[in-house]
Amino acid sequence: MWRIIFVLLFTYAKCDDNYNERRRKLVELELRSALGGNITLNDKENTVNNCLMQHKFNEVDYGFDHPNEFNFSHHYFSYKNQIQKSKVFKIIKSMPKGAVLHIHDMAIMGADYLLNITYMEHLYVCFDKPVRFLFSNNVPNVTCGIQWQLMSEARSAVDNVTEFDAQLRKLFTLVCDNPDTVYPSIKETWTRFMQYFNSAYGLLTYRPNWEQYFYDALTYFKNDNIMYVEVRSILPNLYELDGTQYDTMVTAKAYRKIIKRFKKNHPDFIGAKLIYAPSRKVDRNVLAQYIENARRIKREMPEIFAGFDLVGQEDAGNPLIEFVPQLLEAKDLNFFFHAGETNWFGTLTDENLVDAVLLGTKRIGHGYALAKHPQLMQEVKDKDIGIEVNVLSNAILSLVRDVRNHPLSIFLSMDLPVVLSSDDPGAWGADPLSDDFYVAFVGVTSKLQDLKLLKTLALNSLKYSALEPENKTRALQEFDRQWNNFVDNFDCSSY
């Protein structure tokens, strides 16, 4: 009898050992096959990683034990001010992050920056809906439902300037105390989002402001440990105090001038390029003009021209399929199409992904709906098309509430060519890239994914950039220098 029991126990133990070993191998295989899983960290990197993962485990474990307090299941606005306290965030903030490849020029700097502009001379305001601003030597000859008045006079006429500025500041941010009430659906979110751009437009398109703003934006990127930027722009018509308006080429030339000046002042900054990205809500005649503009920029300023895109809310805009004949004729341009920024499935919106891939896009902007299209995911992987993922943007603009459900987790587990970016950080008061890296790393990725993933994401941002081969090599060398400096000087007790 005892012999039978012993044999059974021995057999069970043997089976159990085999099961545990098979289980361990399967878990390890998943980690190795995910993005970043196949790289090896050196001793110094492992020191950084041990510190980083200790803090990550603490945050994730606390959220697991207190799910009602897990920040990333709530709206970003409810926890954005707490991010600075996170030790994981502080490490990510100090880490070189490579490049930003998906960002819109008029939503980089935050609300305080725009509010400060309202203290400049010669600024007029129209308290219409939306509120508009315009710099001018005289009262603007532009329709206003009420009347144009000097901003300085409007401010001096109020009893409480602090409260006046607080209300004015709300024009330049989507952040609010009760986002679930203010933004119950994507309709309200995008309506407010467009109002933000309308209010900022006149402040930023005054030519001297535009140039200073972009220089300050590049400084902002550099201070967040970013070495290269590809900025999307509608190339708005800049203007002067006397009412002179310039065409899109002058705006592009302003970019070239500022990029050149910034690189001269900061030799370790790799640079910036322009993706011409006008509205997708146009007809074919207007698109033809857009394509001609893009070709002219490419011809006259090839050193800063990266490519072409069409922007705006995809659900409300024209799908790519409406423009396929023209876009097929424009393959001399590099495409970086927004595609799949939607929750819908089987619509013309998510099928923008199909046309983006068939048209030869170099990268896909957002690609949120890509996880619903397995064949397309395989195409993206086979063709090595970068996916510009913007976690915070997708959460704030009403695609996902709990970021643990963001498809980025699927993209990473399948080792798709992901690049993290930030879209419009100024509109919600986020850092140029650190906030997105942090929320993705703690709120979206596997608890077990570590410094290998962060390093790979940073390298991907350079790998999938539009830099020329020689400049890409230089960028990767500069990244190695900055990364080695980061790990060589890392002190866990500082975090």
Could you give the maximum distance between any two Cα atoms of the chain, in Å? 105
324: helix, coil or strand?
helix
CA distance 329 to 349: 22
CA distance 19 to 410: 26
Query: Is 341 tagged catalytic?
Result: yes
Pick the catalytic residue: 59, 341, 388, 478?
341
100 φ, ψ to 5°?
-105, 120
The conformation of residue 261, written as its DSSP 8-state character, comes to H
Please name the residues in contact with 123: beta carbons below 8 A apart, sequence gap of 6 or more. 117, 133, 134, 135, 150, 151, 152, 203
CA distance 355 to 324: 8
Give the torsion through C-alpha atoms of 488, 216, 364, 398, to 10 deg.
100
Asked whether 351 and 332 are in contact (CB, 8 A), the reply is no
402 φ, ψ to 5°?
-95, 110
CA distances 227 to 182, 343, 472, Å, are 36, 33, 12
Count of H-run helices and E-run strands, the chain: 20, 11
Residue 303 corresponds to which tokens in the numbers above?
A: 């050193």
CA distance 290 to 310: 10
Asked whether 314 and 329 are in contact (CB, 8 A), the reply is no
Pick the catalytic residue: 366, 388, 406, 478?
366
Asked whether 94 and 225 are in contact (CB, 8 A), the reply is yes
Please name the residues in contact with 73: beta carbons below 8 A apart, sequence gap of 6 or more. 67, 401, 402, 403, 404
CA distance 190 to 311: 13
Q: Which residues are catalytic?
A: 341, 366
